Structure 1
């Protein structure tokens, strides 16, 4: 009867079976844009539509009914 593997032996076995991805070297940088009004920075990923410093509106969207959402009066 075989002796079960210890916790450390199982961890070593799992580490050896893992796939290793190739290291990709890239230039360091920042993902920011600046406000055209005051020059304040804003991260691209944060989803803010207005500048936190001066209130300049980066993105203005007008919501409409779209092609699938209609008023309840028109539905049959």
Structure 2
């Protein structure tokens, strides 16, 4: 006759702890990096961010933004 092993509450907790996985999945290991861009006019470094259009030091224009009519939003005519 086979004997059934009775697992204690503590043994069940230990087993659950060993079988659990990380919340959110496995972690990715990436090398450290800096996402920067130098100003071509004065050489000042700045963080590369979307929407930054001018250098904070020399006012060099990185991006020229021209607003046009969109699908839902139209340009306002303030000449009236």
Aligned partner of 1:44 in structure 2 is 48
Report the RMSD for the aligned CA atoms in angstroms. Answer: 2.9
Moved over 6 A (4+): none
Show structure 1 runs of 5+ residues with no match: 1-17
Aligned residues: 58
Relative to the length of structure 1, the TM-score reads 0.56
Report the Cα offset of residue 63 of structure 1: 1.0
Please identify which structure carries the higher helix content.
1
RCO higher in 1 or 2 (8 Å CA, sep ≥ 6)?
1
Aligned partner of 1:7 in structure 2 is none
Larger Rg: 2
Report the Cα offset of residue 55 of structure 1: 0.6
Relative to the length of structure 2, the TM-score reads 0.54
Tell me, in whole angstroms, the C-alpha distance in 2 between the residues paired with 1:71 and 1:58. Answer: 23
